[in-house]
Amino acid sequence: MRFASLLVSLVGVAALFILADVIRKKLKSERECYRVFTRGGAEDGTVTYDEGGRVLELYFDRAKNTIYVPTDGKWKEIMPTWAKDRKDQIIGRTKKVVGRRWIGEDWKYEETGNEKLLMSQRQ
């Protein structure tokens, strides 16, 4: 009986820590007025940067642990007007959120001009 109550207590504490972390991240996101999140499958997907409804996306390859960032010239060419002169700020914010992993290699950011590795952006 003591083991069961100890186990329930530990699970409860772990749940509180997880809930606190989720709330902390949500409040931080609202305070800083931007969100960064990933979506995709086992092989690849996108990193989405959302700043008050203004959105841009970067392609990632999970097998190579690589997020592809347009070169400076390509960035200015394909990014929406609001983001054209803010590459360093946007990529810096993205790296704070999507960088280190608990398991496996950390994400690498690679600059590329290769159209196949770049996402078309909403203007």
Q: Which pair of structure tokens corresponds to residue 36?
A: 């960064």
Q: Which pair of structure tokens corresponds to residue 75?
A: 């960035």
Better-scored residue on pLDDT, 88 or 19: 88
pLDDT in tens, 95-108: 988 887 777 788 99
How far, in Å, CA of 91 to CA of 112, rounded? 14
User: Over 70: is that where the pLDDT of 92 sits?
Assistant: yes
Contacts of 104 (CB under 8 A, 6+ apart): 65
pLDDT band at 15 (very low <50, low <70, confident <90, very high): confident
| Of 27, 74, 29, residue with least CA distance to 51 | 29
How far, in Å, CA of 62 to CA of 42, rounded? 7
User: Where are the domains positioned within the chain?
Assistant: 1-32, 34-123
Rounded to two decimals, the pTM is 0.75
